Structure 1
Amino acid sequence: MIYETIVSSISDNGVPHVTPFGIRMQDGLVVIAPFKPSTTLSNILSTGHAVVNLTDDVRIFAAPLAGKPIIDLTTASKINGVRLTDLLAHKELKLVKFEDDETRPQLFLEIVHEEQHQPFQGFNRAQAAVIELAVLVSRLKRLPLEKICGEMNYLTIAIEKTAGPKELEAWGWLVEMVENHKAALRSENLA
């Protein structure tokens, strides 16, 4: 099972990187499998640490993909890293195993500390739609445009019925990314 989370890591010189990431659990370890090249991969290999952040604010899933900075960060409690300041829970991780792969290596991380900050109230359909579109946008160069647009049209139903201001803002950022991708493809086709 894959869990959609926000992974934060830092570079050797302390520059934070925050991005949405699907993780899975295996034998008590968190498994992260980034596509190469990846800032998250580089950061974890160089520092040996990362944080899995659990949030119900879907703007955090959309912001990094749309080039919007996430600056509301707090120093992690037990590792050299950062976490989101406003979140539901977080897990601080230490790298224990690395399996290299040409396309998608696997990082196996031990949970060294975790905290619950707020109770989870559940997702509404618009939040789930934003997270799903964020996954699609993260694969704009890997998936056929027709698939992305078809799924986006279906997801729009949930947005129209159940979105609040945060979901609408995040949705707008992601739709803009898809529209920019379409425009870039049209430009390439005209050349």
Structure 2
Amino acid sequence: MIFETVVSTVSADGKPHLAPMGVRYRGDDVILMPFKPSATYDNIVGTGHAVLNLTTDVRVFAGCVTGRRDWPLVPAERIPGMRLQAALNHVELRLVEERADEQRPVLRMARVHAARHGDFAGFNRAQAAVIEGAVLVSRLHMLPAEKVREEIAYLQIAIDKTAGPDEHEAWRWLRSAIASHQAAMAVVRDATAIQKQAQKQTPEQKS
């Protein structure tokens, strides 16, 4: 099973970085599979540490995939790193094994310390919809536009029925990112069409 979390890391010079990430639990260890290249991968390999943050503030998920990564952080307790201030729970991790892969290396992380900071009442449907929407936004470059439209239309039902102010704000960020991407793709398609039309013209037509 894959669980959606927010992973915080720091670079070798102490610059923090947040990234939503699906993780697996294997006994007491945590399995991370960051994309390569990525700041998360570089930071973990460079420092040997990461922090797993569990939160119901889905604005963090939506924010990270729409360029809003400046969320309040506090120092980790046992490792050199930072944790999300809004985390209900956090787990401090140490890298113990890397299985190389050109695209997504497998990092086995050992638990160094865990702490609870609040109660988890469970995700409502809107929060789950925002997380799914954030995954879609992170893969806009890989997915057909029609699939994105279908998925967003379905997720919109949960937003309309169960979202609170935070979920509505996060959803607006995601919809805006999708609209911007689709507009950019339309410009590319128009430019391509014009170029193809020009290539089909005879020398007389071009003159």
TM-score range, shorter chain: over 0.9
Q: Aligned-pair distance for 1:7?
A: 0.3
Query: For residues 20-71 of structure 1, what are the alpha-carbon distances to aligned partners after superposition, in whole Å with 9 as ceiling and x for unaligned?
Result: 1100112321111122221100000000000000000000111111111323
**What is the deviation of 1:103?**
1.3
What CA distance in whole angstroms lies between the structure 2 residues aligned with 1:57 and 1:71? 11
Distance in 2 (alpha carbons) for counterparts of 1:20 and 1:69:
10
- Percentage of identical aligned residues: 52
3-state secondary structure, aligned to 2:132 = helix
Q: Establish whether residue 89 from structure 1 lines up as the match of residue 89 from structure 2.
A: yes
Question: 2:30 is matched with which residue?
Answer: 30
Task: Provide structure 2 residue ranges, at least 5 long, that are not aligned to the other structure.
Answer: 192-207
Larger radius of gyration: 2
Equivalent pairs counted in the alignment come to 191
Tell me what 1:178 maps to.
Answer: 178
The answer to which structure has the higher helix fraction is 2
Q: CA deviation at 1:104?
A: 1.1
> Structure 1 regions of 5+ residues with no counterpart?
none
> What pairs with 1:57-76 in structure 2 (closer than 5 Å)?
57-76=57-76
> What SS class does the counterpart of residue 139 from structure 2 fall into?
coil
8 Å contact from structure 2 (residues 60, 69) kept in 1: no
Tell me how far apart the structure 2 counterparts of residues 78 and 126 of structure 1 sit (CA, whole Å): 34
SS in 2 for 1:40: helix
Offset of 1:145 from its aligned partner?
Answer: 2.1
Give 1:91's aligned amino acid. V
Rounded to whole Å, the distance in 2 between the matches of 1:164 and 1:71 is: 20
The SS at the match of 1:63 is: helix
TM-score by length of structure 2 reads 0.90
Secondary structure at the counterpart of residue 103 of structure 1 = coil
2:110 is aligned with 1:99: no
Cα distance in structure 2, aligned partners of 1:110 and 1:63: 28
TM-aligned CA deviation for residue 138 of structure 1:
1.0
1:144, CA displacement in angstroms? 2.0
CA distance in 2, matches of 1:144, 1:26: 34
Task: Give the TM-score normalised by the residue count of structure 1.
Answer: 0.97
- CA distance in 2 between counterparts of 1:132 and 1:100 reads 28
Q: Distance in 2 between matches of 1:79 and 1:178?
A: 37
> How big is the alpha-carbon RMSD for the aligned residues of Structure 1 and Structure 2?
0.9
Kept in 2, the 8 Å contact 1:48–1:95? The answer is yes
Tell me the alpha carbon deviations over residues 100-143 of structure 1, each in whole angstroms, 9 at most, x when there is no partner. Answer: 11111111100110001101011111000001101111111122
